[in-house]
Structure 1
């Protein structure tokens, strides 16, 4: 009796978590037009989980008759357990990175992202908001604005951030533009060149969205700099999509060495 009840609870949890997760992953697609590896993987993960729960009884009955299905069920269980463990560990590391306070006298490095023509994308605007607030709280701090010009961008990400911060009252003599980078690794490496040339502190206050800071911290430390975080807010409906994308990116980075 207890075993039957336990199986029913597990089945319902799969259905509920699968459906809720699927909705969370599809919201960015429908309302923001965001399609990336994060929501693609999330839709697959939660869609399979939902179907697994919905057809659990039939799958179990079939697995008792066919060895191949029994193996498939075992692979699914092992895969979901491994994924959940890795995702949990990485989420803890992400939270730890977000809570790493910058050292006193640190140099700010603002990591760029998409520009729409000459205007900041939603994520870039959130980073600019965080940079503005922190620079006003620390009037002696200098900032390197890092980001090159990509497809569909009329100006570089660095120039876009510079324009916005000047509009918001940040003095130009506190800002340095790094406008060649096309990746997080280049963001930090090229910003390091400016920091060394200008004699700025190698202790960084890295501004990026909260989900991105752990990966940024790995690059900062690989460059021999000291990491500190200035997290920019990420809207909750978009959070899982971007966390999942970061998870896949970091996983690929670790596998590649």
Structure 2
């Protein structure tokens, strides 16, 4: 990470800390006074109500009554907890619980409950999210200009989507909540809110992908690989409902303390629900980012300045001829070569890349070479790479061949549309900033193949994802422990 980026991050972090510090100072100054409203059935004059405190830690400095509402202006005296009881002349009583913090802030009904100026924390949260959004958008633009095919771009896009939703949610609830506890709960439940908003979309996509998978199996037969899309969609939808199902089971248990405000099980269930839905939200954000980038990558046309174009191999037919999938990749490479020649007259060299599988009678590279020659490409413009057994090897071995002829060569690659982003990311991971072009395929095949690519991306970056999920879950756990501890006071 360069120094400029480090300075930007430290500036952002300092700004966020200052926002929350300002919110804390504002609450500390204004929170020592509180206007408490109590509703009654009948209307009386303010002096007719009797107000009592169980502990002398708060004093009532003034009172007024208006339209059956008694307003008490309170001032803190010392830390502690006290019940405040107001009794009307007809015997009707209203009761509230007040907490006075060590800094003099008065909170209502909960230790981290409503207090004067408490909404400042929600404003600080909204401002922090906005600053983070600006920072992430800047990072995404820089990263996108550097290379489209980066896994981090998917994460940045997903996080931008999530924080945009969270900012809107914060702005909507600012007028409804005014306490540190509510601010914490709104933060840790952002994943839950996002998951519920995304649930209809996830359900619709699950149905759509299931139909697509059925069409796929009709053409290619039943395999678990051909059901991956439907299984992933069903898992996301079921996981979204799982916390509610568990909570319902616990609520029907007479021995469950889920209904108790201070019960440990209540907060354990809160942690399970928020952590699970946060993980689902994380998955949905990464998936959304991947979809956007996969579409961008598939529609991208490389600059017409290339010296070579790699053709990434795939299954060869039983007769040694290209399958439709492989043929589309070759045709797309030839099409790009013609586009470049028409644009500036520059011809390029084809690199068919792919070894021989155990069930293939000819190597993928040899198969593609034969097809190219049949379509008028002279052998002098074909450089064969027939040792690779994976996409990563396709890129590594092909690049080694071009480096011998032209170390500064500009290279493109041709593959199927759903595979462009991942292939480009694998190339970038090897230090090669090359551009890809995507060949079209059947829509029913594209959807399931994209799901396979998405799962492969998750697996290839599993350590990074596990680390981020661990951070998220840890943050939720700490926040809920703080809320639980406050509930015991």
Provide TM-score, normalisation by structure 2.
0.45
Q: 2:215 aligns with which of 23, 27, 47?
A: 27
For residues 58-112 of structure 1, give each alpha carbon's deviation from its aligned partner in whole angstroms, at most 9, with x where no partner exists: 8875464368999876666444322211101122232343326245133101100
Confirm or deny that 1:95 pairs with 2:95.
Answer: no
Contact kept, 8 Å, 1:159 with 1:179, in 2: the verdict is: yes
- Counterpart Cα distance in 1 of 2:329 and 2:221: 20
Contact kept, 8 Å, 1:108 with 1:143, in 2: the verdict is: yes
Confirm or deny that 1:232 pairs with 2:436.
Answer: no
Contact kept, 8 Å, 2:243 with 2:273, in 1: the verdict is: no
Structure 1 pair 90–158 and aligned structure 2 pair: CA distance change class (3 A): same
Tell me: higher relative CO, structure 1 or 2? Use CA pairs within 8 A at least 6 residues apart. Answer: 1
Confirm or deny that 1:211 pairs with 2:418.
Answer: yes
Confirm or deny that 1:116 pairs with 2:304.
Answer: no
- Counterpart Cα distance in 1 of 2:462 and 2:244: 36
For residues 178-213 of structure 1, give each alpha carbon's deviation from its aligned partner in whole angstroms, at most 9, with x where no partner exists: 000001111011101110122275321110111111
- Structure 2 equivalent of residue 125 of structure 1: 327
- Structure 2 equivalent of residue 44 of structure 1: 231
Structure 1 pair 197–87 and aligned structure 2 pair: CA distance change class (3 A): same
> RMSD between aligned alpha carbons?
3.3
- Structure 1 equivalent of residue 81 of structure 2: none
Confirm or deny that 1:150 pairs with 2:373.
Answer: no
Confirm or deny that 1:105 pairs with 2:105.
Answer: no
Deviates more, 1:143-152 or 1:223-232: 223-232
Structure holding more helix per residue = 1
Deviates more, 1:69-78 or 1:170-179: 69-78
- Counterpart Cα distance in 1 of 2:289 and 2:274: 23
Contact kept, 8 Å, 2:304 with 2:340, in 1: the verdict is: no
Counting only pairs closer than 5 Å after superposition, residues 158-197 of structure 1 correspond to structure 2 as 158-197=365-404
The Cα shift of 1:56 comes to 11
- Counterpart Cα distance in 2 of 1:90 and 1:14: 15
- Structure 1 equivalent of residue 475 of structure 2: none
- Counterpart Cα distance in 2 of 1:106 and 1:34: 42
Say which SS state the counterpart of residue 220 (structure 1) adopts. Answer: helix
Contact kept, 8 Å, 2:206 with 2:234, in 1: the verdict is: yes
How many residue pairs were aligned? 249
Contact kept, 8 Å, 1:123 with 1:234, in 2: the verdict is: yes
- Counterpart Cα distance in 2 of 1:15 and 1:41: 15
The Cα shift of 1:124 comes to 0.8
Structure 2: stretches of 5+ with no match in the other structure: 1-196, 254-264, 342-346, 465-489
Structure 1 pair 171–42 and aligned structure 2 pair: CA distance change class (3 A): same
- Counterpart Cα distance in 2 of 1:221 and 1:51: 36
The Cα shift of 1:42 comes to 1.8
Contact kept, 8 Å, 1:146 with 1:177, in 2: the verdict is: yes
Deviates more, 1:106-115 or 1:18-27: 18-27
Structure 1 pair 220–236 and aligned structure 2 pair: CA distance change class (3 A): same
Between Structure 1 and Structure 2, whose CA radius of gyration is higher? 2
Structure 1 pair 199–51 and aligned structure 2 pair: CA distance change class (3 A): closer
Structure 1 pair 241–114 and aligned structure 2 pair: CA distance change class (3 A): same
For residues 2-29 of structure 1, give each alpha carbon's deviation from its aligned partner in whole angstroms, at most 9, with x where no partner exists: xxxxxxx998766654333322233222
Structure 1: stretches of 5+ with no match in the other structure: 1-8
